[in-house]
Each structure stands twice: as structure tokens, then as C-alpha cells.
Amino acid sequence: MVAGDRFSDEHGVRINRLGITDPQQLAQAETDSSLLRLQRLNLQGGIPGGRYDHAHLKQVHQKLFEGVYQWAGETRADREFQGHKPTYVTGFKETMTYAPHKEIEQRLNAISEQLGKENYLKGLPAEKFAERAAYYLDQYNHTHAFRDGNGRTLQATFVQLGKEAGYQVDFARIDPATLNRARDLAMVRSHAPQEAEKNLQALKAMFEQVISPAPGLEAEKLRDPSQARPLASLSPQMQAIDARRELEVTGYRVMDIVANMPGAGNYEKGVAVGKGVESTNLNPAAIQTHLAQFQQAAEKIIKHPALQGPNAKQDQSDARRFRVSAEQVSELAVLKEATVKMPMPKTHEEAQVLFQKAAGQVAQALHEHGKVSDSARLQEVIRHVNRTPFIGGLNRENVGKSIDAADRIPGLRDSSQLGELKSAVGIMEKTPPAPERSSGSMEIPRRSAEGLEH
């Protein structure tokens, strides 16, 4: 339970329609209500016309949990909840992170689009259906759209997916612990991308236990090989998602390795790596300010004399994977930036929009590098710019100090965010032109440099 996460009350109990304040009683009420609704939804065949996207999963969640929660159908994005979860599925403590809540909609839609390219797994033999279903369940699970109820939502979703592909999917055939273990193993990705199928072995085996060909002529037609659409390649969106997932799982393991190395300052360096990974998870553009730090951490492990034997094989593998994934995420971020780069501003209004975007990113990077006062100065200017597209006086002095601090940080110095910030400031430090008035019209109040009306 987490108190104050906007899905819960001050005691960490989920906000609910029933007025229950005891967490055990609430858990039982949720189970009783949602399982009946899950059975009913499965019998109905799921959501009519559902495309397994953002809208589809929201409908499933709402139908399962609206009897207990007024926030049923809301994703983590609706109440800005991030969260992460520990697991010991490998015998060691691992950190399972989820998709940034701001990206839930676009990620669910990207998964749906990829699934559509495979014709929603129609026309596949049982083993292949289990293999591809394992891949998609893992992607949906990592997106983790909801604060609670993701497991039952995905069960309903894959029962419908199976039915529409000619298979019966019955999760009651396995122990829930088997499903949870398989999902966690897929999440922590112990094996490198070259052996990605090994990360999904447990999930595939689970699906092989819960699926069976549905009876009837219609189901046979759905399984007919002519329906199959072989997967050519992952979409660019899915490739980017996988690259960032690889950075997360290896990054947190690298954090632990460095933090536990003997020697002064290693604990702090490990913690800094973890913070950089978290920052990049939430905003991939931040990789440009952390790339050198990530590369140095990986190199530290690879060359450490105490980490060279067979017992350190996993540590060495994680370090190399981390370095490669960091560089890949960096390349993807540069490519994305080049394709969606905002045009340089020509007016104060255009500069205002660009400033709000770039200054927020630079302020975050300054804070991550320990420049707390410079970050705070820039945040204060952002609040002013939200009201008026002009920077003068103390605001100009403060933004100048922040830019000077950013210029002294490798990785941030040559970043596009800082360049955009400077371009926006170059426009906004000039006095805005007075608005034109037609004769006979009412006088429009003009604003001074400090935003006061006269």
C-alpha cells in the first residue's frame, strides 16, 4: 500500500465505492466482485470490436472493477502514478520498472498496432500462438496500465484474443503463482537480446498449458494457416520500447554492482547510475546527459580485477548489455529529435512554447547533476514565462546563470535542449511588439515588462 498516491487514502487504502477502510476486507471485496465480472465478460466474448489498444484495455478494466472502484477504467496516467516493484524470481533482488505513465496510451496503441500486423495471431498452430501470446502479454504487463488489476485485465484480454484466433484460453488450469513467476522472469530479462526467446520461455510454457483448440468450424477457420501474417520486423516504436527496457533492467543491476564495490565513492556512483536510469526511463532525451556516466560505470565493471572469473559472468554480461543499450537509446533519441525537432522561433509566442519545453528539460538535468539552485532559478523563470512571453530584469539574470551552469556540464553543453533554450531566450529578452489597434476599437490594456496591466 502507498499512501497519498491519488488512488489511495491517507492510510494507503484504495479509494473505493464501498466505504471500506480495512485493506484485507477491501481485497476480499475486490476479488469477489471482479472474479464474477471476469467470468461474465469471458462468457460474453470480451469487448465487441476491441482492438487491444488503450481504449480496449480501459473498457476491460472498467467492466471488471467498477463495482468496487470509482477509478475503474483510469490508467496510471490519469492520476500520475509511476511506481516500481521488487522481485526475487532469479534468487536475487531485482527491480521491475513499468512504462512511464505519460507513455501508457502511446505504448498500448503501439502494441496493438504490432498485434494487428500479425492479424491478431490468427492462423497460428498452438505452439506458435503460445510463443507470440507470451511476447504480447509481456509487453502489456510491462506497460502496466493500471494502478491495480492488471493481471485480471490481461487475463480477460487474452481470453478474447484466443477466442478470436480459434483457441480457448483458460487460466484456471494453472496455479496463479506459475503465471506470476513467468511474468516476472520476462520482466527482469536475465538473458541478452540475442537470446530474447529465453526470457519468454516460462510464459510460453504457461500459455501451452492454458490453451486448447476451440471446437467448431468457425474456430477451425480462424486457425487456418491462410489467416496467418508472418512477422517481418518490429515497428520502430516497439524497437524503441525494447531498447529502453534493456537499459532499465541492466541499469539497475549495474547500479547494485557499482554501489557494492569496495572503495571510496563507489556507493555514491552506483546511486547516481540508478538515478540516471530512472531519469532516462521517464524521459529518454535525458540519455544525452547520462551517456558518459553510463559508459564509465560499465567500463568500471568490465575492467575490475575482482570481476573477471566465471562467478562474475553475469555481472560482465550486464555491464556490456548496459553499455550497448545506453548507446542504442542515445541513437534513437537523436533520431527522434531530428524527426520531431521544433522549428526555431520567430515570434515571442513561438519562443514561449519552445522555452517551456526546453527549460523544463534543462532544469531537470541541472537538478540531476547537483545544480539545485540553478535548477530552482530556471523553474522560477518558467513560471514567469507561463504568464508572459518576455524575459527581463532578474528573470534574465537568473536564466543566464542557469545557462552558464549548463554550459559547464559535459553532455548537456552540446545538447539540443540547451540550444533550444538559448534560441528562445534570444527572442524573449527583446521587448514584445505592441499589439495593433484598429481605429474606433476599445483600447487593449498593455503589459509592462513585469506583466502588470496599465
Q: What is the pLDDT of residues 240-298, one digit of tens each?
A: 999 999 999 999 999 999 999 988 999 999 999 999 999 999 889 899 899 999 999 99
**Which cell numbers in the block locate residue 200?**
519468454
pLDDT for 442 beyond 80: no
Q: How confident is the model at residue 334 (pLDDT cuts 50, 70, 90)?
A: confident
Q: How confident is the model at residue 344 (pLDDT cuts 50, 70, 90)?
A: confident
Q: How far apart are CA 3 and CA 21, in angstroms?
A: 13
pLDDT for 449 beyond 80: no
Mean pLDDT for the stretch of residues 224-241: 90
Q: How confident is the model at residue 443 (pLDDT cuts 50, 70, 90)?
A: very low
Nearest alpha-carbon partner for 125 in 222, 249, 42: 222
pLDDT for 88 beyond 60: yes
Q: How confident is the model at residue 414 (pLDDT cuts 50, 70, 90)?
A: low
pLDDT at residue 407 in the model: 85
Mean pLDDT for the stretch of residues 116-123: 96
pLDDT at residue 9 in the model: 92
Write the CB contacts of 376 (distance below 8 Å, at least 6 apart in sequence).
Answer: none
Residue type at 185 in one-letter notation? L
pLDDT for 30 beyond 90: yes
pLDDT for 129 beyond 80: yes
Three-state SS annotation for the chain: CCCCCCCECCCCCECCCCCCCCHHHHHHHHHHHHHHHHHHHHHHCCCCCCCCCHHHHHHHHHHHHCCCCCCCCCCHHHHCCCCEEEECCCCCCEEEECCCHHHHHHHHHHHHHHHHHCHHHCCCCHHHHHHHHHHHHHHHHHHCCCCCCHHHHHHHHHHHHHHCCCEEECHHHCCHHHHHHHHHHHHHCCCCHHHHHHHCHHHHHHHHHHEEECCCHHHHHHHCHHHCCCCCCCCHHHHHHHHHHHHHHHHHHHHHHHHCCCCCCHHHHHHHHHHHHHHHHHCHHHHHHHHHHHHHHHHHHHHCHHHCCHHHHHHHHHHHHHHHHHHHHHHHHHHHHHHHCCCCCCCHHHHHHHHHHHHHHHHHHHHHCCCHHHHHHHHHHHHHHCCCCCCCHHHHHHHHHHHHHHHCCCCCCCCHHHHHHHHHHHHHCCCCCCCCCCCCCCCCCCECCCCCEC
- Exposed, middle or buried, 303 (CB in 10 Å: 0-12/13-18/19+)? exposed
Calculate the average pLDDT of the chain.
Answer: 90
Write the CB contacts of 420 (distance below 8 Å, at least 6 apart in sequence).
Answer: 342, 354, 357, 358
Q: How far apart are CA 226 and CA 338, in angstroms?
A: 40
Q: How confident is the model at residue 343 (pLDDT cuts 50, 70, 90)?
A: low
- Asked whether the CA dihedral 99, 58, 233, 199 is positive or negative, the reply is positive
pLDDT for 361 beyond 50: yes
Q: Would you say 111 and 140 are in contact if contact means Cβ atoms under 8 Å apart?
A: yes
Strand pairing report for 167-169 and 94-97: unpaired
pLDDT at residue 227 in the model: 96
pLDDT for 131 beyond 50: yes
Overall size of the chain counted in residues: 454
**Which cell numbers in the block locate residue 275?**
538515478
Mean pLDDT for the stretch of residues 115-127: 96
Residue type at 377 in one-letter notation? R
For helices 150-163 and 126-143, angle between their N-to-C axes, nearest 10 degrees: 150
Q: How confident is the model at residue 339 (pLDDT cuts 50, 70, 90)?
A: low
Q: How confident is the model at residue 411 (pLDDT cuts 50, 70, 90)?
A: low
Write the CB contacts of 30 (distance below 8 Å, at least 6 apart in sequence).
Answer: 65, 68, 69, 148, 149
For helices 236-259 and 126-143, angle between their N-to-C axes, nearest 10 degrees: 60
Q: How far apart are CA 98 and CA 145, in angstroms?
A: 9
Q: How far apart are CA 1 and CA 12, in angstroms?
A: 5
Q: Write the class of the CATH domain 23-232.
A: mainly alpha
pLDDT at residue 46 in the model: 96
Cα end-to-end span (Å), the chain: 53
pLDDT for 199 beyond 50: yes
- pTM higher than 0.85: no
Domain spans of the chain?
Answer: 23-232, 238-340, 348-428
